[in-house]
Chain A
């Protein structure tokens, strides 16, 4: 029992463990990134935006919003409802908005700090169909699906906060959004972002529901357990319900994400820079309304702006331009010192295929490298129409890799391991070095669903596709994952708020019926 190895060649005797003095004023980056537009180009977009806001303005379909904006120094035409913004009003609003926002979670271990160039990922958001991971069947989403999706998101490691994945289409108009929130709080202990709020009245009811968990209205302001995503109508229009949500959110101190969805070529100029101007005008108009309502209100700068595909007539969110615009939107938000939120990890593909994989990566990697604070899109297919639990599992793996890229790799004497290189010298390997063991966790990505094995090892494990393995994982997680329970007394309080909304909407108690499904 001997191991007689080849002779040891050492070329570097005496060169090991030499003294290396400290370096003076070394410039270094931590984390990897990309530059989209230069500071001058971003300033040019900002100046063009201020010009549009000052001369053309934005239409606001809310008397209350018009009152607030007029009171804050804007020029309001009550007949056309067009609001024109002096530059100093907009720039003061940018200045009063906080640079960092706490997205608090029911379980404080999931609290997420939004700001700087820290990145995070969440799911989309308002899907109306769900792809059953076990059968591949496509069905209209129900309240029950909302809860299941939230439970799966709760269990998904690289999903940092939890957005409402689906719409409860089996619930009444007066309360469907409240039912969604109830399902969210029941099924996840991460921060909840509601993507489909009907208006100011139900926004207030939601804040009351969240305040039950937080322990009161002031406690909710300290620890906002939820946030709302709301969208201007491009070009240059903000609908009444959106105004109400922005105003109500500002008053309660609940973060509101003003996210514009310009379709370049249709609801904005076809050039990416031109659409960034109208997008920027819409978002800054919304944030100005929030800041004039309550200076210091937690406002988030959002973008789902992309191109309109002139062949299909659809707005692709897995397009490279979407990634470029979101990266540039992130750069604008950084210039304004506002927390940012954009699309990322989207797909236009209808199934969990190669197209989906590519679209997810290209739409996520660009904004991630640009330092966008939150990217939403995990689990989404069909440009946002469909939520796929299987895709969510795949996206968890994709996002892990993207987070690894952003982390970068340190450059210093210990990390470079020059002494180790001298010691190992030519022709040997580094597998047994302490340096390898010390850094391998930090430096190397690991895969759980993707397969890096040999063909034989892959065949032994059933020769399955990654989508098949992801579907299995989704089913298994749904069977086993138990979210942090919600206090039944709080749940009863939420139900009472929902019943009150339904009564106000003219619905008698017990009139709604839910649909349950098995996935």
Chain B
């Protein structure tokens, strides 16, 4: 509707800027104008918004972007993604890096860190099923089975709930899933030593590092 036609380069540049400016309206507008201009949604997504989000992650890691800004950047990306994905034919969905089930272990209600990891995994190309907090072992296992998960991430803030991460390992093994499902542990109480001890595949200390390790684990 009266919008100027965007070239591919313009769309990519504006997409990156919209994410870094944490401007959700601008992100959606670029996505819509790109579609109206007949550009390939996948290209705009992968060379524009995804690049912007990667840069936001790098800025956060370098302590040049604040946590709220990075999370809002992820929201911008998700909003644009919704617009672009709707325009894709049903048989050419954006290819996922893998399916992740995450949640905070039963008895533990601390989930800000887990939610941030989930958001960053989603904007990095994973299909994320966030089960929230206080999640029973049975729910983790059932969702992993139903979604054909490649990775199950569990978070524990307290030493009292850490034991649940070990129980989850065993339960996934007993369900016969441990062959194809990798596990990831996080939360303030978890350490690399703990991950090694219980046999978890991935441990990371920060959200950005978690994304990197998750990619390596499912590659």
Residues of the A chain whose Cβ atoms lie less than 8 Å from the Cβ of B75: 432
Is A429 an interface position by the 8 A CB rule?
A: yes
Is B107 an interface position by the 8 A CB rule?
A: no
Q: A433-B68, A454-B205 provided; 20 other pairs, C-beta below 8 A?
A: A1-B122, A1-B126, A2-B122, A2-B127, A3-B122, A3-B128, A3-B130, A4-B129, A5-B130, A6-B130, A6-B131, A6-B132, A431-B67, A431-B68, A432-B68, A432-B72, A437-B68, A437-B69, A437-B72, A454-B206
Q: Whole-angstrom distance from the CB of B140 to the nearest CB of chain A?
A: 14
Given contacts A431-B112, A454-B206, contact A3 B78 (CB under 8 A): yes
Instruction: Flag if B85 contacts A1 (CB, 8 Å).
Output: yes
Q: Give the residue name and chain of the A residue nearest to B119 (CB).
A: A3
Is A456 an interface position by the 8 A CB rule?
A: yes
Q: Give the residue name and chain of the B residue nearest to A448 (CB).
A: B63
Residues of the B chain whose Cβ atoms lie less than 8 Å from the Cβ of A4: 128-130
Interface size on B, residues (CB 8 A): 30
**Which A residues from 418 to 444 make CB contacts under 8 A with B?**
427, 429, 431-433, 436-437, 440
Residues of the B chain whose Cβ atoms lie less than 8 Å from the Cβ of A454: 205-206
Which of A1, A427, A431, A436 gathers most chain B CB within 10 Å? A1
Residues of the A chain whose Cβ atoms lie less than 8 Å from the Cβ of B34: none
Is A457 an interface position by the 8 A CB rule?
A: yes
What separation, in Å, do the CA atoms of A2 and B127 have in the docked complex?
5
Is B115 an interface position by the 8 A CB rule?
A: yes
Residues of the B chain whose Cβ atoms lie less than 8 Å from the Cβ of A436: 68
Residues of the A chain whose Cβ atoms lie less than 8 Å from the Cβ of B115: 429
How many residue pairs bridge A and B at CB < 8 Å?
51
User: B66, B128, B132, B205: which contacts A2 (Cβ < 8 A)?
Assistant: B128
Is B118 an interface position by the 8 A CB rule?
A: yes
Q: Whole-angstrom distance from the CB of A452 to the nearest CB of chain B?
A: 10
**Which B residues from 173 to 205 make CB contacts under 8 A with A?**
205
Is B81 an interface position by the 8 A CB rule?
A: yes
Is B148 an interface position by the 8 A CB rule?
A: no
Q: Provide the main secondary structure of the chain A interface.
A: loop
19 pairs from A and B in contact (CB 8 Å cutoff): A1-B85, A1-B94, A1-B122, A2-B127, A3-B119, A3-B128, A4-B129, A5-B130, A6-B130, A6-B132, A427-B133, A429-B115, A431-B67, A431-B112, A437-B68, A440-B68, A454-B205, A456-B206, A457-B205
**Which A residues from 422 to 481 make CB contacts under 8 A with B?**
427, 429, 431-433, 436-437, 440, 454, 456-457
Instruction: Flag if A440 contacts B94 (CB, 8 Å).
Output: no
Is B16 an interface position by the 8 A CB rule?
A: no
Q: Give the residue name and chain of the A residue nearest to B81 (CB).
A: A1
Q: Give the residue name and chain of the B residue nearest to A454 (CB).
A: B205
**Which B residues from 92 to 136 make CB contacts under 8 A with A?**
94, 96, 109, 112, 115-116, 118-119, 122, 125-133
What separation, in Å, do the CA atoms of A437 and B24 have in the docked complex?
14
Residues of the A chain whose Cβ atoms lie less than 8 Å from the Cβ of B31: none
Which of A3, A429, A454, A456 gathers most chain B CB within 10 Å? A3
List A residues at the B interface (Cβ < 8 Å). 1-6, 427, 429, 431-433, 436-437, 440, 454, 456-457
What separation, in Å, do the CA atoms of A395 and B22 have in the docked complex?
35
Q: Give the residue name and chain of the A residue nearest to B99 (CB).
A: A2
User: A1, A431, A433: which contacts B96 (Cβ < 8 A)?
Assistant: A1
Q: Whole-angstrom distance from the CB of A426 to the nearest CB of chain B?
A: 11
Q: Give the residue name and chain of the B residue nearest to A460 (CB).
A: B205
Residues of the A chain whose Cβ atoms lie less than 8 Å from the Cβ of B122: 1-3
What separation, in Å, do the CA atoms of A429 and B109 have in the docked complex?
12
Which of B68, B85, B115, B126 gathers most chain A CB within 10 Å? B68
Is B152 an interface position by the 8 A CB rule?
A: no
Residues of the A chain whose Cβ atoms lie less than 8 Å from the Cβ of B210: none
What separation, in Å, do the CA atoms of A199 and B82 have in the docked complex?
77
Residues of the B chain whose Cβ atoms lie less than 8 Å from the Cβ of A437: 68-69, 72
Residues of the A chain whose Cβ atoms lie less than 8 Å from the Cβ of B78: 3
Residues of the B chain whose Cβ atoms lie less than 8 Å from the Cβ of A1: 81, 85, 94, 96, 122, 125-127
What separation, in Å, do the CA atoms of A436 and B126 have in the docked complex?
28
Residues of the A chain whose Cβ atoms lie less than 8 Å from the Cβ of B68: 431-433, 436-437, 440
Residues of the B chain whose Cβ atoms lie less than 8 Å from the Cβ of A429: 112, 115
Residues of the B chain whose Cβ atoms lie less than 8 Å from the Cβ of A456: 205-206
Is B71 an interface position by the 8 A CB rule?
A: yes
Residues of the B chain whose Cβ atoms lie less than 8 Å from the Cβ of A2: 122, 127-128
Q: Give the residue name and chain of the A residue nearest to B61 (CB).
A: A457
Q: Whole-angstrom distance from the CB of A440 to the nearest CB of chain B?
A: 7
Q: Whole-angstrom distance from the CB of B142 to the nearest CB of chain A?
A: 15
Q: Whole-angstrom distance from the CB of A204 to the nearest CB of chain B?
A: 51
User: A5, A6, A432, A457: which contacts B71 (Cβ < 8 A)?
Assistant: A432
Residues of the B chain whose Cβ atoms lie less than 8 Å from the Cβ of A5: 118, 130
Residues of the A chain whose Cβ atoms lie less than 8 Å from the Cβ of B69: 437
Q: Whole-angstrom distance from the CB of A382 to the nearest CB of chain B?
A: 34
Residues of the A chain whose Cβ atoms lie less than 8 Å from the Cβ of B112: 429, 431
Residues of the B chain whose Cβ atoms lie less than 8 Å from the Cβ of A3: 78, 118-119, 122, 128, 130
Q: Whole-angstrom distance from the CB of A484 to the nearest CB of chain B?
A: 29
Mask, B45-89, CB within 8 Å of A = 1, is 000000000000000000000111101100100100100010000
Q: Give the residue name and chain of the A residue nearest to B121 (CB).
A: A3
Residues of the A chain whose Cβ atoms lie less than 8 Å from the Cβ of B81: 1
Q: Whole-angstrom distance from the CB of A45 to the nearest CB of chain B?
A: 48
Q: Give the residue name and chain of the B residue nearest to A456 (CB).
A: B205
Q: Whole-angstrom distance from the CB of A80 to the nearest CB of chain B?
A: 66
Residues of the A chain whose Cβ atoms lie less than 8 Å from the Cβ of B96: 1
What separation, in Å, do the CA atoms of A6 and B135 have in the docked complex?
11
Residues of the A chain whose Cβ atoms lie less than 8 Å from the Cβ of B72: 432, 437
What separation, in Å, do the CA atoms of A427 and B115 have in the docked complex?
12
What separation, in Å, do the CA atoms of A433 and B71 have in the docked complex?
10
What separation, in Å, do the CA atoms of A436 and B109 have in the docked complex?
22
Residues of the B chain whose Cβ atoms lie less than 8 Å from the Cβ of A440: 66, 68
Q: Give the residue name and chain of the A residue nearest to B205 (CB).
A: A456
What separation, in Å, do the CA atoms of A2 and B206 have in the docked complex?
22
Q: Give the residue name and chain of the B residue nearest to A4 (CB).
A: B129
